[in-house]
Copies of this chain bind each other. A is one copy, B any other.
């Protein structure tokens, strides 16, 4: 049973602060199969919020794709200064480009590193763009020690399918998804092209010497897996060490994948998606399965456009231990996915059409689940709590 509490016009006015906050307004409740939950709106008015991470002191960092980086401190939103202007081609910033993910280093307490991905104009180009990864430290509310530690080698126009999701692994390295850039001829199968891949880096951007494609010729050393279209959800489950991702397919074909080093996930040779009637984007080959290429663990039904993926642990949602939560932009819902023996054995639809297009779902260190919803001018930050 899903119940929404729509804000009355009067209630809305009273609860708005100067900065546009609703202080703890419950906007949705749901008695799910194994947990009764409520959703608290923490922030609205965000411009395409895209990334979320947690500082050890309880503050959060969020990115807005077209609106910069902010510190969220007890519900107050404070702009982060000194974000590098990377000359994003303007049109780009309003489709899929701009500031993307943000993540703190697992050892942030000691080294203070913050990582963020974004698109920028490629060197020497005036419209082709590339996804890049940077790190920096926070000095108060300003970025300092800014370093660009990875630049994709495949500039492209138009600016779409950047990937950009960042995930730290338990071995201290990090992954970043690189979208296939939606270009033709397709690039995701090419190992001399970062597009359509996951790359794996040391925290300073150098290449781990056990990266899986290193001993192959004409191969970019950063590659960890290839054959991806546009991964927007990426997480390692702490207990198992398994790496899971969600990937946008074409029409249909949205995937949940178990990511293993050196594997080829098939795009665009093998896909469960269908051709768009009106577009020429589709693969040269439309095989659903191909030997030597990894099938997804789940093909989402319908058109979900999955974004944001988190693995639940701890006592706040005890019956969801080990479950994955996958957000959906077009699908406007969160899927709870139960994994056993690397197989999805159950799924439950959460908050269907309750709070909008889900860009990020992420469990915080406090055990609550935080959600960013995508909107041009009124994206939101929400907290899912037990009721």
Please give the residue numbers on chain A whose beta carbons come within 8 Å of chain B beta carbons, in ascending order: 33-34, 251-252, 272-274, 277, 288, 300-303, 335, 338, 345-349, 352-353
Contact = CB atoms under 8 A, between A and B. Distances in A.
A352 B2 CA distance: 14
B288 A348 contact: no
Contact of A349 (B302, B345, B348): B302
A contact patch SS: loop
Contact of A252 (B274, B277, B288, B348): B348
B277 A349 contact: no
Contacts of A300: 301
A252 B347 contact: yes
Number of copies of this chain that the complex holds: 2
A155 to B, nearest CB: 32
A311 to B, nearest CB: 19
22 contacts: A33-B251, A251-B346, A252-B346, A252-B347, A272-B345, A272-B346, A274-B338, A274-B345, A274-B346, A288-B345, A300-B301, A301-B301, A301-B335, A301-B349, A302-B335, A302-B347, A302-B348, A302-B349, A303-B348, A303-B349, A352-B353, A353-B353
Contacts of A33: 251, 277
Contacts of A353: 352-353
A288 B341 CA distance: 12
